[in-house]
Amino acid sequence: MKLIKSKFIFFYIFQLIFFIQFSYSQYNVKGKILDKNTGEPLSFASIKYNDNITTSNNNGTFHFTTNSPILHLKISYIGYLTFSADYTITKKDFDLGTIYLKEDIKTLSEVTVTSGKYRKAIEDVTVSIETVKPSFLEKNNTLSFDNLLEKIPGVNYVDGQANIRGGSGFSYGAGSRVLVLYDNIPALQFDSAYPNWGNIPVETIAKVEVMKGAGSSLYGSAAMNGVINILSIYAKKKPYLKIRAFGSVYDNPADPVKRWGDSRPYKYGFSAVYAKKIKKLDLVSSLYFNNEPISYKKDCFSQTARTTLKLDYHLSDALSIGLHTNLNTGKKITFFYWKNATSGAYTGDSLAYSLQDKKVYIFDPHISYFTKNGGKHIFQSRIYYVSNQVSDNKSNVSISEYGEYQYQKNFSDFGLILTGGMVHTEAITDAELYGDTIFVAKNSGFYAQAEKKLWKKLNLVFGARYEINSVSGPKVIEGEDVSEKYTRESKPIFRFGANYKLFPFTNIRASWGQGFRYPAIAEKFTNALSGNLLILPNPDLKSETGYTAEIGIRQGYKFYKFKGFADLSAFQSEYNNMIEFNLRYKGRLFFTAENIGNTIIKGIELSTGLTGNIAGVNISAMGGYLYIDPKYKDFNDEVKRNLSVDYNILKYRYKHSFRFDTEFKYKSFLLGFGSFYNSYMEAVDKILEQEIFIKGVKQYRKDHMHGTNVYRMRIGFEYKQMELLFNIDNLFNKEYSVRPGLLEAPRSFTLSLGYQLK
């Protein structure tokens, strides 16, 4: 009996020891998350295991360790149904295998990454964001990215520069308050803060996101007025091949007096894109060519050729390296202002023509590493070489180097996401345009942002950045000693935001963000002659500061087979020491960048979009209306003397603008319409209307005091892998101008043929 009892005691002790050992064992768990329909990996999916959380990496794989043999697993991904399951772990290395997630067809969510540098439902962000899909670019015959800007609600485009909600006017190709990103890397030429739109490979675009309002805390100086983030396609297991060829012909101007020749202006070109996963290598490549031998502007032409290559190699599930390249070249002749407003409207003044021969080489090396606990390390960099050989001593050559380290971690136990990093840019510019001398510009920044979720309804955002900027150059410019003008500036800036889910499809938001923008080399030191217009440097130019505040509401809706949204916001932007180019006359006529004082821009914006199906017809629509009230805070006699009107309004702005686009598709046929409207540009530089150097401006503006409404139409047919598109831009051949002294294109007809491997 004692023997039996001792055996039971030994058995219980053995069980206890085994249980304790089993309970405190560490198990390695791994798995992979794929899209149920496409089989593609889902990166950055949220994986909750017991009371911990991690994320999937670029390949959709994940791994973690746990001490418990009982596993409660929950996987969520924006736009997909949540996956939940319980497991009993039976061995130390436990493989969950492949887990497939299904798309949630009932969701109204759209994903955005720009506001926080990670995937997030658009209704949960604290600022206004507009998105554009690649099909919109293709169907609207977008040959260069700047062709798209006038079609996006809340965005205007004036002679090469984008502005959001009236944040900029006419800046003569230098200085931008809107930061353009390509795959999350700044795409502005550093010395001029100007986007070379021809560098953007429109043929590889997967999505465009426009963030409205100050984004300086995350993205730096140039994001004072907003961010345009251009995201490219990525390689998949299934090969992707798309080829497109096009040809366009311009119609005669609506006014026969303005016709300058018997030949019809035309252009043609092609693009090709190929993408494929090859074992551990992701490959994306493209070619593009566009030739306009005869422009609608007399004696002008343009030609652009570009090739891109993206190589990403996965050394492991957690570590990947890559190199993206963009090589492009272009040549063109154009003019800055017309000969006159009548018979010479599409002909340049004899002194206004310039020849440009551009070469751009861009190399983007990068590394990304995902830790086991869900942390993300990213190092991305850019080497940007540009050579602009321009007639009339306006050439410039620059090379800039950019590097950024970023770390991000999701602390799900606290409902907290932290993002932080450091960035440095350095550029050397040798330019006739800046007085035939060398300048060196440096910029460094340190940033952090925290996003906290409370009660599953309230999102709070706090961001901060510390930026340091310096420029060095020659001691003497135009006979003036400027050695004391080179200053080293530094400034902290902050951002706050909140978003509350009031009802299942209703979100209200509020945000406030500071901006800080230092003048670009081109704004401060340009010294050139364009026709009979002199551009002079201003070494005394100061940096500008300001803020943007916004409140808004986003309402999602769903009825019958339609779903969509309506977004209403009210905003206010204030700028101190605002920088703008002004036209002056002091014994000679000249353009120069100046601090025009303090300004304030108030406004409201409504944007909307919907998709659906009725009677077999797929319908999609998007649009928006913007009203702004742009004013000088210090409206004094000096401002009045240089303004073409006698009341308080900022120059080169449209108070009202409206955008819309709609498409109907039935089986293989599609029909689309679109339009953009800009109200009358009320104020310009007063000297322009005095016609000292540009003839006919005052009378032309007087004859065109109504707004401009330009329409477009497209018809398409798809057959298997082929698509034929016919586009008419400027459908009613409207004559219009977006800035004094230059007319936009008359009606054009484009026929394009595309092939896509499916």
Q: 63-93 pLDDT, tens per residue?
A: 888 888 888 888 888 778 888 888 888 888 8
Beta-ladder partners of 161: 158
In this predicted structure, what is the pLDDT of residue 19? 46
∠ CA(173), CA(175), CA(181), 5° rounding?
100
Position 720 in a domain: no
End-to-end CA distance of the chain: 79
Query: How many domains does the chain contain in total?
Result: 2
Those residues with Cβ within 8 angstroms of residue 173's Cβ, 6 or more apart along the chain or in another chain: 159, 160, 161, 192, 194, 522
* C-alpha closest to that of 168 among 195, 198, 144, 137: 195
* CB 107 within 8 Å of CB 79: yes
Decide: residue 237, CB within 10 A, 0-12 exposed, 13-18 middle, 19+ buried: exposed
158 and 281 inside one domain: yes
Query: DSSP string covering 152-207, please?
Result: STTEEEETTEEEETT-----TT---SEEEEETTEE-EETTTTEE-GGGS-GGGEEE
In this predicted structure, what is the pLDDT of residue 625? 96
Position 729 in a domain: no
In this predicted structure, what is the pLDDT of residue 282? 93
Beta-ladder partners of 610: 564, 621
pTM: 0.88
| Cβ atoms within 10 Å of 91's Cβ, excluding its own | 9
253 and 399 inside one domain: yes
Query: DSSP string covering 501-547, please?
Result: EEETTEEEEEEEEEEEEPPPHHHHH-BEEETTEEE---TTPPPEEEE
78 and 219 inside one domain: no
Query: DSSP string covering 437-505, please?
Result: EEEEEEEEEEEEEEEEEETTTEEEEEEEEEEEEEEE--SEETTEE-TTT--EEEEEEEEEEEEEEEETT
In CATH, what number is assigned to the domain containing residue 50? 2.60.40.10
94 and 133 inside one domain: no
* Residue that finishes a domain, picked among 74, 101, 128: 101
* C-alpha closest to that of 535 among 433, 651, 440: 433
Instruction: Quote the domain boundaries for residue 36.
Output: 23-101
CA 447, CA 113: separation in Å to the nearest integer? 17
Give me the residues of the chain with pLDDT under 50, please.
Answer: 1-5, 14, 17-24
* CB 719 within 8 Å of CB 659: no
Please report where in the chains the tokens 């497109």 appear, as a residue: 244
CA 327, CA 307: separation in Å to the nearest integer? 5
CA 157, CA 659: separation in Å to the nearest integer? 13
Position 660 in a domain: yes
Position 520 in a domain: yes
278 and 259 inside one domain: yes
127 and 255 inside one domain: yes
In this predicted structure, what is the pLDDT of residue 151? 87
In CATH, what number is assigned to the domain containing residue 228? 2.40.170.20
Q: For residue 612, what are its two tokens?
A: 């659906």
CA 663, CA 670: separation in Å to the nearest integer? 7
Q: What are the backbone dihedrals phi and psi of residue 123, each rounded to the nearest 5 degrees, phi first?
A: -75, -15
CA 267, CA 252: separation in Å to the nearest integer? 15
118 and 80 inside one domain: no
Average pLDDT along the chain: 86
Q: Which residue type sits at 755? A: Y
